Amino acid sequence: MSLISPDDVHNQLLVSRVHPPDWVNPQPSDRYDLVVLGAGTAGLVVAAGAAGLGIGLKVALIEKHLMGGDCLNVGCVPSKCMIRSSRVVAEMRDARSFGVIPPDTIEVDFPAVMERMRQLRAGISENDSADRFKKLGVDVFLGEASFLDRDRIQVSDRILNFKKAVIATGARARDPEIPGLAEAGYLTNETVFSLTDRPRRLAVIGGGAIGCELAQTFQRLGCEVMLFHKHARLLDREDPDAAELLQQVFLKEGIRVILNCNIDQVRSSPDGKVIDANGESFVVDEILVGAGRAPNVEGLNLEAVGVNYDRKGVKVNDYLQTTNPRIYAAGDICMDWKYTHAADAAARIVIKNALFSPFGFGRSKLSSLTMPWVTYTDPEIAHVGIYESDNAELIKITLDKVDRAIADGETNGFIKLLHRTGSDEILGATIVARHAGEMISEITTAIVGKRGLNTLSTVIHPYPTQAEMIKKAADAYRRKLLTPTSRKLLGLLTKFS
């Protein structure tokens, strides 16, 4: 049976790279300096980073399913490919406002959208391939890893002795435990990208990152989408104005958003799957669940090595060390930040702390990271640092003041920038814009480089770009500094100039 469906040429290429069917696990070394469990982003970065140093470290990497993990196979990559197709649809629907006459009907060839995604995903997969890691000097083992005792890990018929180990086994869709849901059947991120036919009516459970990105994508690709969310607003952990703006976009695009929802049960009927919620019954063809994540701890036998965990994942300290000091963890298995770039950053910390910090000297901390994130809806919502708080002053600039956004017809958005009261120190920002993800790094760079709004206001931004919004925010800060006295002083200066 194929490891990922459909069993077409693209998925065959993918599998040939990330879980080659004819792979023979190597004879293990006597003792590994590092054994990495899980070959998603975190595991791959740890293994490549340690082996790639060229200092003779013995590194083993174990993967039970597909190397590349969620991001490549069933997460970031396939979702962003589909989002791109769905943006084309949105642009075509909106074409008249640009003076372009669209065809009478805009047809979406859903199987072709999915095939494009599979083709691009297979193309990208080489980077995460077993062959590449073998060439880097990593011993790649395909099979399920399990700790035997404090020194040994078992994978299939091989036993690996380790000095240090890294748990990077990631997370999976959390079962929302709704009566009847399992019996009726549902999709998760592990199965939704295998669809080849478009469901006519799709329910999405969960209005977080997965739910929002995919609800909009499927609606634009021609499904009737109903989005069920527990809380009073979508993306409830994001800036409320950003979430409100997105909600308005969703409603305008025809997504049915059911908020404050409590799903009583799911049942099957001749007409489809019925969701009973908030006193109503909703009939759909497929249900996609994006209701948070559960850590992949099962089968690891963590008890044998004294690694503590709970329903949120493996417990780590700020150095990413588990309760067994020789075992570290990185990525979705142990972190609240469930992002590929966060897994990557954590993996780098693990390499440093596990291998290059004798007696604990020079260790790096997870809490020292400045972590941005982006929800790739349209418009995108990007965030870094703090949200609005009493100790910070807010500057808000809307995109309708930015020439390039006006020219692009993309004025639905804003930047909210927070700086320390009485100083130009940037504490956080939320950007809502079509390409907000491309803009947030300027703010992250400023925060990491300890540069404030005074510096940003001296940075020349090419005209016309939407990122000028950031410069406008910095200029607004400078204007706030002008007091009646300083204005008088400036007046005097002009007199003598």
Ligand X SMILES: Cc1cc2nc3c(=O)[nH]c(=O)nc-3n(C[C@H](O)[C@H](O)[C@H](O)COP(=O)(O)OP(=O)(O)OC[C@H]3O[C@@H](n4cnc5c(N)ncnc54)[C@H](O)[C@@H]3O)c2cc1C
Ligand Y SMILES: NC(=O)c1ccc[n+]([C@@H]2O[C@H](COP(=O)([O-])OP(=O)(O)OC[C@H]3O[C@@H](n4cnc5c(N)ncnc54)[C@H](O)[C@@H]3O)[C@@H](O)[C@H]2O)c1
Q: Which residues bind ligand Y (CB under 6 A)?
A: 176, 178, 205-211, 213, 228-231, 236, 261, 263, 290-293, 338-339, 373-376
Tell me if 209 is assigned to a ligand binding site: yes
The answer for residues whose C-beta is within 8 angstroms of residue 270's C-beta and 6 or more apart is: none
Considering CB distances under 5 to 8 angstroms, the limit depending on partner class, which of ligand Y, ligand X, none binds residue 414?
none
Per-residue DSSP letters for 23-64? Answer: --PPPPPSSEEEEEE--SHHHHHHHHHHHTT-S---EEEEES
The answer to the question of residue 121 lying near ligand X (CB under 6 A) is no
Residue 155 CA to residue 38 CA, distance in Å, equals 12
DSSP strands (E only) in 399-487: 414-420, 426-433
349 interface partner picked from ligand X, ligand Y, none, CB below 5 to 8 A per type: none
14, 42, 165, 166: which one contacts ligand X (CB under 6 A)? 42
* Residue 245: contacted member of ligand X, ligand Y, none (CB under 5 to 8 Å, by partner type): none
**C-beta of 277: minimal distance to ligand Y in Å?**
8
- Per-residue interface string for the shown chain with ligand X, residues 368-407, x marking contact by CB under 6 A: --------x-------------------------------
Backbone φ and ψ of 164, nearest 5°: -135, 155
| Contacted entry of ligand Y, ligand X, none for residue 39, CB cut-off 5 to 8 Å set by kind | ligand X
Distance CA 259, CA 206 (A): 10
Within 313-332, the residues that bind ligand X by CB under 6 A are 331-332
Is 180 labelled as part of a ligand binding site? no
Pattern of binders to ligand X over 73-102, x per CB under 6 A?
--xx--x-----------------------
Stretch that binds ligand X, among 69-77, 118-126, 232-240, 396-404 (CB under 6 A): 69-77
Nearer to ligand Y, 78 or 208 (CB): 208
Q: Does 205 bind ligand X (CB under 6 A)?
A: no
Q: Does 132 bind ligand X (CB under 6 A)?
A: no
The kind and range of the H/E element at 300 are none
d(CA 62, CA 198): 35
Determine if residue 422 is labeled as part of a ligand binding site. Answer: no
In the complex, minimum distance from the CB of residue 364 to ligand Y, in angstroms, rounded to a whole number: 22
Nearest-CB residue to ligand Y? 208
DSSP helix/strand/coil, 102:
coil
Q: Is residue 212 marked as binding? A: yes
On whether 128 is known to bind a ligand per the annotation, the reply is: no
Residue-by-residue DSSP string for 363-394: ---GGG----EEE-SSSEEEEEE--S-TTEEE
The CB-of-122 to ligand Y minimum distance in angstroms stands at 21
Prior bond of 199 cis (ω within 30°): no
- Strands of 207-312 (E only): list them: 224-228, 256-258, 263-269, 272-277, 280-284, 286-289, 293-295, 309-310
Q: Contacts with ligand X in 162-201 (CB under 6 A)?
A: 168-171, 189
Residues 243-282 vs ligand X: string with x where CB under 6 A?
----------------------------------------
Instruction: Choose among ligand Y, ligand X, none what residue 168 binds, the Cβ cut-off being 5 to 8 Å by kind.
Output: ligand X
Instruction: Give dist(CA 84, CA 431) in Å, integer.
Output: 20
Using CA atoms, how far apart are residues 238 and 211, in angstroms rounded to an integer?
14
Total residues in contact with ligand X, by rule CB under 6 A: 38
Element (H, E) at 292: none
Q: Which residues contact 358 (CB under 8 A, 6 or more apart)?
A: none
**Both structure tokens of 210:** 């997965």
Nearer to ligand Y, 231 or 352 (CB): 231
439-to-37, 148, 435, 471 alpha-carbon distances in Å: 35, 47, 7, 11
Residue 52, burial from CB neighbour count under 10 angstroms (0-12, 13-18, 19+) = middle
Q: Least distance to ligand Y from the beta carbon of 349, Å?
A: 18
Q: Examine residue 218 and tell whether it contacts ligand X (CB under 6 A).
A: no
β-strand partners of 426? 419
Binding-site residue set: 80, 206-213, 292, 332
**Contact residues: ligand X, CB under 6 A:** 37-43, 62-66, 69-71, 75-76, 79, 144-145, 168-171, 189, 210, 296, 299-300, 331-333, 338-341, 343, 376
Residues belonging to the binding site for NAD(+) are 206-213, 292
